[in-house]
Each structure stands twice: as C-alpha cells, then as structure tokens.
Amino acid sequence: MSSRILIVGLNYAPEHTGIAPYTAGMARALREDGWDVEVVTGLPHYPQWQVHEGYPREDGPLEVIDGVPVRRIPHPVPHDAGQLRRLGMEIVFGLRAARAPWGKPDVVVVITPALFASAIVRVRAALARTPVLVWVQDIYTAGLSETGAAGGLVTRVMRAVEGAFLRSCNGVVVIHDRFSDYLRRHMGVAGERITTVRNWTHIAEAPTVDTAALRQRFGWGPEDVVVLHTGNMGAKQDLPNVAAAAQIAERRGAPLRFVLVGGGHQRPQLEELAATTPRFEVLPSVDNDTYAGLLRAADILLVNERAGLKEMCVPSKLTSYFTAERPVLAAVEAEGPSASELAAADAGIRVAPGDPEALVDGALRLHEEWVATGDTVHRGGRRYVREVLSRGAAVRSFVSALGKLRPGLVAEDRAPATVNS
C-alpha cells in the first residue's frame, strides 16, 4: 500500500506563477510515481490578489487536478497584500486547514513563506505524531528585513519565531544552497535536517504560440528591443526602477521597450506610470502557452530586484527564462542567489539594482552582444536547466527528504485519482 503524503500550502494550480507551479508539479510527479498524495490548499488568487473566477469563497467539492485530489479551504484575500492583511489571510487559512479532513497521512508537507499557516498546521500534525517536512520557497524574515517591511525589533522577534518553527519540523527542504547556509547560520537549523531541492521550469520548451504573431498582437515592431519582465509586481521587484529606465531610453532615443507581464499589489501604480511613460507597458497575466511564447518573442528577459536583496529568494521566473534561450538581464545584487544562478547558467549579464541608467546601458550592451555574435552568447540556460534544474532531479531529492523523515515509505503503481478515490 502506498505511503500517504499530505501537502498543505496556500498556493496551488491554477495559479501559474510563484510557488503554485512547483507545489502542483511536485504533487503531480509524486502521484505519477505511485505515492498516495493529497493536497489541502487555498483559493487561487496570486498574483492578482483576487479570487479566480468560478471559485466560491465557501467550502466546495473536492477537486482532482492532474490526478491529485485537492481540497480548497476558503479564506479572505486582501486586495493590497499589506503585511497585516496577509497575516490575517494566513491565520484563517491555517486554522481552517488544520480542521479539514486529513485522514491518516504518513508525512505532512507544509509550504512557506506562509509561515503562520504552516505553524498552525504543524501543531495539528504534532498532536497526531505525524512527521512534518517544511518546503521553504522564501525565507520569511529575510524578506521582512531586506524589503524594510518591518522594523528591527519586529524582524528579530519574527526571526526567532521562524527559527523555532523550522527547528520543530522533522525535515526542511530549501530551493537553493544559499538558503541552507542562511538557515544554519541564522536560524540554528541542523544541517543534516536540510535537503536542497531545486525548482524546475514548468513551461514547454517548444511553445505552440507563434512568436511573430505575438509581437504583432502587442504592437512590438521589428525595430523594438523588447525587455520583458514577468511575474509578481510587488515591493521586492522594485519595478518603478524599470519605468525610470524607460524614461531614460525615451530621452536617449534608444530602441528599448520595457514590458511587464503579471499582477501584484503594485500593478495599479505601474499602470499609472505606463499611461504617461513611452516605451513602458504593463500587460495582464497570460496562460501558460502564451507565456512561453512571450518569453521567446522578447529580445531580453529581465529580473529586477530591490537593492539590498541578498538572501531572501531565488526568482522562480529564472528557470523559465533559461529554457526560453533568450539573454537574461539581471538588475540584482552581486552577492545574491539570482546573480549566482545567472553566472552558473552563463545565461546573461548582471547590472546594479536600483540604477535605471545601468539598466538601460546593460540592455543595450546585452542586445549588441547577442546580435554581434549571431545569438551565440549567453545561451547556457537550457543546458543548465537540463543538467541542474530538471523535474526528475527535484523529485528524486524530494523523495530522499521524505525518506529521511520516515524510513520505509513506499510508492506503488496506482490509477489516477477521482473525486471519490
């Protein structure tokens, strides 16, 4: 009989950016490999911070997504993603997820940075003496500190809370070795409890969308050098810096066109900037096929981070960018994990964050190199994805982490789930 794995996380499919694709992808992969996997999750709302159409705010029937049984937990969704409102959403989700039907899982997997929801779920699991594996996609208190969202005292208290929670879990999965180092140095988590499981790309290598038609559809001319940023539009992305770069490009007469695709709580502000800023535009989130096509329709793919971010995250968009085989421009700190990923993949260049002049200069230089070499430089991304960031490697590492918690866990061949399975 297959071992039962219960995954509890706030974000899941059909959200197609951020954490959700990795949680959903791992659940599907484990189910396909014979594990008895079920998911307890929230209402799909990210990155728009609005509940997706068709999802009621009360308990609904059990879903099956790609063969995985999924139970939706209703919760409030804050319209502006402020810290206190997000905290309220997390607590409500955590309390309701802890009261939801679980059955008797062999292991409970919780997903952070929904720290408080995960901590509440951890309490129920402890009462049932069920081992808990926490999957750390972002370091909660590093984010508070580096974005300035909380003062020094609050950050220190929160770091103590986060550290206590992580140490209480039976195992910890992180998405980068930099996270592992941080948890050992600042949170006191024992190294033998930590497993690195790299995120993988969730887009097709060969999209079915006509990229030339996409450029025409969005009004991008052959003379436009499109610099594309995708995903969340929040504080840590510092996207007003990109709008400022567009203003500089306009003054210089440079052919750069800066395009943002996605959603987030800063989107209204950015749309206002786009209305008055030539060479700067904001597009809504798109489906996966269109997204994959846009990555290849652009000339340069952009990662833009707030100055000072050195520990808190590895942008999930990088894995998709690398697969697209377009040069990547990263306005990030040299000491951060985004810069190290870019260098390891040999997929682009880095410029200083928070400097729109450097962003314009970097985009022009990168495009000139790309054209001058016949598209032969900065093409290591796809190789890096296949060798380091493959889903198969991630699943093997994740199964290894599960085995550390409870030796003897087994998978077996099983039919896809149905609502009644």
Q: Please say whether the beta carbons of 23 and 70 come within 8 A.
A: no
State the Cα–Cα distance between residues 177 and 421, nearest whole angstrom: 38
Q: Residue 171 pLDDT > 60, yes or no?
A: yes
Statement to judge: residues 229 and 168 lie in one domain:
no
* pLDDT of res. 396: 93
C-beta atoms surrounding 58 within 10 Å = 6
Statement to judge: residues 269 and 333 lie in one domain:
yes
Statement to judge: residues 146 and 243 lie in one domain:
no
Q: Please say whether the beta carbons of 263 and 175 come within 8 A.
A: no
Contacts of 163 (CB under 8 A, 6+ apart): 186, 187, 188, 189
Residue 193 phi, psi dihedral angles, 5° rounding: -90, -10
What are the respective helix, strand and coil percentages of the chain, to the nearest 5?
45, 15, 40
Task: Compute the C-alpha angle 304/176/126, nearest 5°.
Answer: 120
Q: Please say whether the beta carbons of 331 and 352 come within 8 A.
A: yes
Query: What one-character-per-residue DSSP string does 193-221 give?
Result: GEEE------S-SS-SS-HHHHHHHTT--
Contacts of 96 (CB under 8 A, 6+ apart): 73, 74, 75
Statement to judge: residues 196 and 230 lie in one domain:
no
The CATH number of the domain holding residue 400 is: 3.40.50.2000
Query: What b/e string do you get for 326-336 counting C-beta neighbours within 10 Å, with b at 16 or more?
Result: bbbbbbbbeeb
Statement to judge: residues 285 and 139 lie in one domain:
no
State the Cα–Cα distance between residues 139 and 114, nearest whole angstrom: 10
Q: Residue 147 pLDDT > 60, yes or no?
A: no
Statement to judge: residues 106 and 246 lie in one domain:
no
pLDDT band at 27 (very low <50, low <70, confident <90, very high): very high
Q: Is residue 147 part of a domain?
A: yes
Interaxial angle between packed helices 115-127 and 83-99, expressed in degrees from 0 to 180 and rounded to the nearest 10? 20
Q: Is residue 61 part of a domain?
A: yes
Domain count, the chain: 2
* pLDDT of res. 125: 97
Nearest Cα to Cα of residue 136 among 82, 184, 101, 102: 184
Query: What b/e string do you get for 391-410 counting C-beta neighbours within 10 Å, with b at 16 or more?
Result: beebbeebbebbebbeeebe
Statement to judge: residues 185 and 242 lie in one domain:
no
Nearest Cα to Cα of residue 294 among 303, 283, 304: 283
Q: Please say whether the beta carbons of 333 and 339 come within 8 A.
A: yes
Statement to judge: residues 371 and 258 lie in one domain:
yes
Q: Is residue 322 part of a domain?
A: yes
Statement to judge: residues 261 and 291 lie in one domain:
yes
Q: Which domain holds residue 353?
A: 211-383
State the Cα–Cα distance between residues 302 and 178, nearest whole angstrom: 22
Query: What b/e string do you get for 300-316 counting C-beta neighbours within 10 Å, with b at 16 or more?
Result: bbbbbbbebbbbbbbbb
pLDDT band at 149 (very low <50, low <70, confident <90, very high): low
Amino acid identity of 221? Answer: G
Statement to judge: residues 245 and 186 lie in one domain:
no
Give me 193's structure tokens. 């409890």
State the Cα–Cα distance between residues 321 and 256, nearest whole angstrom: 19
* pLDDT of res. 205: 63
Q: Is residue 417 part of a domain?
A: no
For 351-398, what is each residue's pLDDT tens digit? 999 999 999 999 999 999 999 988 888 888 888 888 888 888 899 999
- Looking at the chain, the whole-number percentage of residues with pLDDT higher than 70 is 92
* pLDDT of res. 286: 87
Q: Residue 146 pLDDT > 60, yes or no?
A: no
Amino acid identity of 119? Answer: A
Task: Compute the C-alpha angle 38/183/156, nearest 5°.
Answer: 105
Query: What order do you get walking across the sheet with 132-136 strand by strand?
Result: 63-65, 68-72, 36-41, 4-9, 107-112, 132-136, 171-174, 194-196
Statement to judge: residues 227 and 339 lie in one domain:
yes
What pTM, to 2 d.p., does this model score? 0.80
Name which of 94-98, 252-256, 282-286 the model is least confident about.
282-286
Statement to judge: residues 166 and 227 lie in one domain:
no
Query: What b/e string do you get for 80-91 counting C-beta neighbours within 10 Å, with b at 16 or more?
Result: ebeeebbeebbb
Nearest Cα to Cα of residue 381 among 409, 413, 414, 344: 344
